[in-house]
Amino acid sequence: MFVITGITGRVGAIAAATLLQAGQPVRAVVRSEEKGAAWRACGCEIAIVPEADDRAALARAFAGATGVYVMNPPNYDAAPGYADTRRRAEASAAAIADVKPGRVVLLSTVGAQVTEFNLLNWAGIYEAALSATGVPVALLRPAWFMENATWDVPAARERRFDAYLQPLDHAIDMVSVRDVGPTVADLLREDWSGVRKIELSGPRKYSANDEAAGFAAVLGHPVEAVAVPRDTWDAVFRKQGMRHPEGRIRMLDGFNEGWIDFERDGTERRTGRVTFESVLSELAARG
Protein backbone atom coordinates (compact mmCIF):
# COMPACT_ATOMS: atom_id res chain seq x y z
CA MET A 1 0.00 0.00 0.00
CA PHE A 2 1.30 3.45 -0.96
CA VAL A 3 0.07 6.41 1.05
CA ILE A 4 -0.19 9.79 -0.66
CA THR A 5 -0.63 12.99 1.33
CA GLY A 6 -1.50 16.14 -0.58
CA ILE A 7 -3.33 14.04 -3.14
CA THR A 8 -5.59 16.94 -4.06
CA GLY A 9 -2.51 18.95 -5.07
CA ARG A 10 -0.64 18.80 -8.36
CA VAL A 11 2.30 16.57 -7.43
CA GLY A 12 0.33 14.22 -5.18
CA ALA A 13 -2.39 13.74 -7.80
CA ILE A 14 0.13 12.84 -10.50
CA ALA A 15 2.03 10.49 -8.18
CA ALA A 16 -1.19 8.72 -7.19
CA ALA A 17 -2.40 8.43 -10.78
CA THR A 18 0.97 7.01 -11.82
CA LEU A 19 0.78 4.35 -9.12
CA LEU A 20 -2.83 3.48 -9.89
CA GLN A 21 -2.03 3.11 -13.60
CA ALA A 22 0.73 0.67 -12.61
CA GLY A 23 -1.78 -1.42 -10.67
CA GLN A 24 -0.49 -0.38 -7.24
CA PRO A 25 -2.80 0.10 -4.24
CA VAL A 26 -3.07 3.70 -3.03
CA ARG A 27 -4.38 5.19 0.19
CA ALA A 28 -5.38 8.83 -0.28
CA VAL A 29 -4.91 11.12 2.69
CA VAL A 30 -7.53 13.88 2.62
CA ARG A 31 -9.07 16.34 5.06
CA SER A 32 -12.65 15.15 4.59
CA GLU A 33 -14.75 12.41 2.98
CA GLU A 34 -15.94 14.94 0.42
CA LYS A 35 -12.40 15.70 -0.73
CA GLY A 36 -11.70 11.98 -1.03
CA ALA A 37 -14.79 11.06 -3.06
CA ALA A 38 -13.16 11.32 -6.47
CA TRP A 39 -10.17 9.26 -5.34
CA ARG A 40 -12.40 6.61 -3.78
CA ALA A 41 -14.10 6.35 -7.18
CA CYS A 42 -10.65 5.70 -8.68
CA GLY A 43 -10.15 2.75 -6.33
CA CYS A 44 -8.18 4.37 -3.51
CA GLU A 45 -8.56 3.70 0.15
CA ILE A 46 -9.35 6.92 2.02
CA ALA A 47 -7.69 8.12 5.22
CA ILE A 48 -9.11 11.22 6.88
CA VAL A 49 -6.57 13.57 8.47
CA PRO A 50 -8.39 16.86 9.20
CA GLU A 51 -5.23 18.67 10.34
CA ALA A 52 -1.67 18.10 9.16
CA ASP A 53 -0.32 18.22 12.72
CA ASP A 54 -2.59 15.43 14.04
CA ARG A 55 -0.09 12.74 15.01
CA ALA A 56 -2.66 10.07 15.80
CA ALA A 57 -4.57 10.54 12.54
CA LEU A 58 -1.33 10.53 10.57
CA ALA A 59 -0.21 7.33 12.28
CA ARG A 60 -3.47 5.64 11.31
CA ALA A 61 -3.05 6.85 7.72
CA PHE A 62 0.56 5.64 7.50
CA ALA A 63 0.04 2.27 9.24
CA GLY A 64 0.96 -0.78 7.17
CA ALA A 65 2.29 1.25 4.26
CA THR A 66 5.04 0.09 1.95
CA GLY A 67 5.77 3.72 1.15
CA VAL A 68 4.51 7.13 2.25
CA TYR A 69 4.67 10.40 0.34
CA VAL A 70 4.83 13.41 2.64
CA MET A 71 4.47 17.05 1.71
CA ASN A 72 4.15 20.26 3.71
CA PRO A 73 0.91 22.13 2.99
CA PRO A 74 2.17 25.31 1.32
CA ASN A 75 2.16 28.59 3.22
CA TYR A 76 3.53 31.44 1.14
CA ASP A 77 3.04 33.95 3.96
CA ALA A 78 4.66 32.05 6.80
CA ALA A 79 5.59 33.99 9.92
CA PRO A 80 9.26 34.00 10.92
CA GLY A 81 10.08 30.97 13.05
CA TYR A 82 7.82 28.66 11.00
CA ALA A 83 5.87 27.45 14.04
CA ASP A 84 3.19 25.81 11.87
CA THR A 85 5.81 23.95 9.86
CA ARG A 86 7.53 22.72 13.02
CA ARG A 87 4.26 21.33 14.39
CA ARG A 88 3.49 19.52 11.14
CA ALA A 89 7.00 18.16 10.73
CA GLU A 90 7.10 16.91 14.32
CA ALA A 91 3.69 15.25 13.94
CA SER A 92 4.65 13.55 10.67
CA ALA A 93 7.97 12.37 12.07
CA ALA A 94 6.37 11.04 15.24
CA ALA A 95 3.69 9.19 13.27
CA ILE A 96 6.33 7.66 11.01
CA ALA A 97 8.42 6.58 13.99
CA ASP A 98 5.29 5.10 15.61
CA VAL A 99 4.17 2.87 12.72
CA LYS A 100 7.42 2.52 10.71
CA PRO A 101 6.28 2.37 7.07
CA GLY A 102 8.67 0.74 4.63
CA ARG A 103 10.00 4.03 3.25
CA VAL A 104 9.17 7.72 3.03
CA VAL A 105 9.49 10.24 0.20
CA LEU A 106 9.43 13.89 1.25
CA LEU A 107 8.65 16.62 -1.27
CA SER A 108 11.36 19.07 -0.29
CA THR A 109 12.84 21.79 -2.51
CA VAL A 110 15.95 23.12 -4.15
CA GLY A 111 17.80 25.14 -1.53
CA ALA A 112 16.62 23.03 1.39
CA GLN A 113 20.19 23.00 2.71
CA VAL A 114 20.40 26.82 2.87
CA THR A 115 20.37 28.17 6.42
CA GLU A 116 20.06 31.88 5.55
CA PHE A 117 16.52 33.10 6.24
CA ASN A 118 14.12 32.69 3.33
CA LEU A 119 10.70 31.19 2.55
CA LEU A 120 12.20 27.75 1.79
CA ASN A 121 13.60 27.22 5.31
CA TRP A 122 10.55 25.02 6.00
CA ALA A 123 12.20 22.28 3.94
CA GLY A 124 15.23 22.02 6.20
CA ILE A 125 12.90 21.66 9.19
CA TYR A 126 11.02 18.80 7.53
CA GLU A 127 14.18 17.12 6.25
CA ALA A 128 15.77 17.06 9.70
CA ALA A 129 12.64 15.73 11.39
CA LEU A 130 12.00 12.90 8.93
CA SER A 131 15.67 11.96 8.63
CA ALA A 132 15.73 11.22 12.37
CA THR A 133 12.89 8.66 12.29
CA GLY A 134 15.10 5.65 11.50
CA VAL A 135 12.93 4.83 8.45
CA PRO A 136 14.46 4.97 4.94
CA VAL A 137 13.80 8.50 3.69
CA ALA A 138 14.23 10.08 0.25
CA LEU A 139 14.44 13.87 0.26
CA LEU A 140 13.23 14.93 -3.18
CA ARG A 141 14.43 18.44 -3.98
CA PRO A 142 12.83 19.71 -7.20
CA ALA A 143 13.83 22.95 -8.89
CA TRP A 144 11.59 26.01 -9.29
CA PHE A 145 8.24 24.77 -10.59
CA MET A 146 7.55 25.73 -14.20
CA GLU A 147 3.87 25.86 -13.31
CA ASN A 148 4.50 28.96 -11.20
CA ALA A 149 4.02 30.74 -14.54
CA THR A 150 0.28 30.09 -14.14
CA TRP A 151 0.06 33.45 -12.36
CA ASP A 152 1.50 35.23 -15.41
CA VAL A 153 -0.97 33.94 -18.01
CA PRO A 154 -3.54 36.79 -17.79
CA ALA A 155 -0.83 39.44 -17.98
CA ALA A 156 0.94 37.65 -20.84
CA ARG A 157 -2.31 37.81 -22.81
CA GLU A 158 -2.02 41.58 -22.39
CA ARG A 159 1.55 41.39 -23.75
CA ARG A 160 3.62 41.99 -20.59
CA PHE A 161 3.98 40.42 -17.16
CA ASP A 162 5.77 41.37 -13.95
CA ALA A 163 8.99 39.44 -13.38
CA TYR A 164 10.65 38.88 -10.02
CA LEU A 165 13.32 36.53 -11.36
CA GLN A 166 16.08 38.96 -12.26
CA PRO A 167 18.12 39.96 -14.20
CA LEU A 168 15.65 39.03 -16.91
CA ASP A 169 18.26 36.92 -18.72
CA HIS A 170 19.37 35.11 -15.55
CA ALA A 171 18.46 31.44 -16.05
CA ILE A 172 17.72 29.08 -13.17
CA ASP A 173 16.87 25.39 -12.92
CA MET A 174 13.17 24.69 -13.38
CA VAL A 175 11.09 21.53 -13.48
CA SER A 176 7.49 20.61 -14.26
CA VAL A 177 5.12 18.91 -11.85
CA ARG A 178 4.62 16.45 -14.71
CA ASP A 179 8.14 15.24 -13.98
CA VAL A 180 7.98 15.59 -10.20
CA GLY A 181 4.88 13.43 -9.71
CA PRO A 182 6.22 10.39 -11.62
CA THR A 183 9.55 10.74 -9.80
CA VAL A 184 7.70 10.48 -6.49
CA ALA A 185 5.97 7.32 -7.73
CA ASP A 186 9.29 5.87 -8.88
CA LEU A 187 11.01 6.56 -5.56
CA LEU A 188 8.17 5.01 -3.57
CA ARG A 189 8.78 1.75 -5.42
CA GLU A 190 12.55 1.73 -4.93
CA ASP A 191 14.42 0.05 -2.06
CA TRP A 192 17.19 1.70 -0.03
CA SER A 193 18.40 2.25 3.51
CA GLY A 194 19.22 5.47 5.28
CA VAL A 195 18.65 8.94 3.88
CA ARG A 196 18.87 9.92 0.21
CA LYS A 197 18.91 13.41 -1.31
CA ILE A 198 17.59 13.57 -4.87
CA GLU A 199 17.82 16.82 -6.85
CA LEU A 200 15.44 17.07 -9.80
CA SER A 201 15.68 19.59 -12.63
CA GLY A 202 14.17 19.97 -16.07
CA PRO A 203 15.96 19.60 -19.42
CA ARG A 204 17.69 23.02 -19.11
CA LYS A 205 17.68 26.30 -17.25
CA TYR A 206 15.23 29.09 -18.08
CA SER A 207 14.98 32.84 -17.46
CA ALA A 208 12.17 35.39 -17.32
CA ASN A 209 13.02 36.30 -20.91
CA ASP A 210 12.65 32.64 -21.89
CA GLU A 211 9.19 32.66 -20.30
CA ALA A 212 8.26 35.75 -22.32
CA ALA A 213 9.47 34.13 -25.55
CA GLY A 214 7.55 30.96 -24.74
CA PHE A 215 4.33 32.84 -24.12
CA ALA A 216 4.85 34.86 -27.31
CA ALA A 217 5.17 31.67 -29.33
CA VAL A 218 1.95 30.12 -28.02
CA LEU A 219 -0.14 33.32 -27.83
CA GLY A 220 0.88 34.60 -31.24
CA HIS A 221 1.90 38.10 -30.19
CA PRO A 222 4.92 39.76 -28.52
CA VAL A 223 5.20 39.32 -24.75
CA GLU A 224 7.58 41.27 -22.53
CA ALA A 225 8.87 40.39 -19.09
CA VAL A 226 9.07 43.56 -16.98
CA ALA A 227 11.44 43.56 -14.01
CA VAL A 228 9.69 44.74 -10.84
CA PRO A 229 12.09 47.04 -8.95
CA ARG A 230 13.50 45.29 -5.87
CA ASP A 231 12.79 48.26 -3.59
CA THR A 232 9.03 47.99 -4.31
CA TRP A 233 8.60 44.32 -3.49
CA ASP A 234 7.67 44.76 0.15
CA ALA A 235 4.91 47.25 -0.67
CA VAL A 236 3.67 45.19 -3.62
CA PHE A 237 3.43 41.99 -1.60
CA ARG A 238 1.74 43.71 1.33
CA LYS A 239 -0.79 45.22 -1.06
CA GLN A 240 -1.48 41.68 -2.27
CA GLY A 241 -2.39 40.76 1.31
CA MET A 242 0.84 39.32 2.67
CA ARG A 243 1.65 40.03 6.32
CA HIS A 244 5.14 38.51 6.30
CA PRO A 245 6.71 39.21 2.88
CA GLU A 246 10.30 39.06 4.15
CA GLY A 247 10.64 35.32 3.56
CA ARG A 248 9.36 35.53 -0.01
CA ILE A 249 11.62 38.48 -0.76
CA ARG A 250 14.70 36.69 0.55
CA MET A 251 13.76 33.56 -1.39
CA LEU A 252 13.64 35.57 -4.61
CA ASP A 253 16.95 37.20 -3.67
CA GLY A 254 18.40 33.72 -3.22
CA PHE A 255 17.42 32.59 -6.71
CA ASN A 256 18.50 35.87 -8.27
CA GLU A 257 21.82 36.04 -6.45
CA GLY A 258 22.55 32.32 -6.81
CA TRP A 259 22.74 31.24 -3.18
CA ILE A 260 19.55 29.21 -3.50
CA ASP A 261 20.67 26.38 -5.74
CA PHE A 262 21.18 22.63 -5.71
CA GLU A 263 23.56 21.29 -3.07
CA ARG A 264 25.14 18.85 -5.54
CA ASP A 265 27.77 17.35 -3.18
CA GLY A 266 26.44 14.12 -1.68
CA THR A 267 23.23 14.15 -3.70
CA GLU A 268 21.69 12.20 -6.55
CA ARG A 269 20.72 14.11 -9.69
CA ARG A 270 17.76 13.36 -11.94
CA THR A 271 16.59 15.22 -15.03
CA GLY A 272 13.03 15.51 -16.24
CA ARG A 273 11.89 15.63 -19.85
CA VAL A 274 9.13 18.24 -19.81
CA THR A 275 10.15 21.56 -21.34
CA PHE A 276 9.08 25.00 -20.17
CA GLU A 277 7.73 25.69 -23.64
CA SER A 278 5.31 22.75 -23.41
CA VAL A 279 4.17 23.84 -19.94
CA LEU A 280 3.51 27.40 -21.13
CA SER A 281 1.55 26.03 -24.07
CA GLU A 282 -0.58 23.94 -21.72
CA LEU A 283 -1.17 26.87 -19.35
CA ALA A 284 -2.21 29.16 -22.20
CA ALA A 285 -4.57 26.53 -23.59
CA ARG A 286 -6.37 26.30 -20.26
CA GLY A 287 -7.27 29.94 -20.52
In this structure, how many other beta carbons lie within 10 angstroms of the beta carbon of residue 238? 12
Decide: 123 and 112 in contact? Cβ < 8 Å: yes
Average pLDDT in the 171-194 region? 98
Identify the pLDDT of residue 170: 98
Identify the pLDDT of residue 24: 98
Identify the pLDDT of residue 8: 94
Summarize pLDDT for 16-42 with one digit per residue, the tens: 999 999 999 999 999 999 999 999 999
pTM above 0.85, yes or no: yes
Cα–Cα distances (Å) from 155 to 20, 176, 193, 217, 274, in that order, read 37, 21, 47, 15, 24
In this structure, how many other beta carbons lie within 10 angstroms of the beta carbon of residue 262? 18
Identify the pLDDT of residue 221: 98
Confidence of residue 75 (pLDDT cuts 50, 70, 90): confident
Identify the pLDDT of residue 113: 98
- Domains in the chain: boundaries: 2-286
Domain 2-286 class, CATH top level = alpha beta
- By percentage, how much of the chain surpasses pLDDT 70? 100
The amino acid sitting at 64 is G
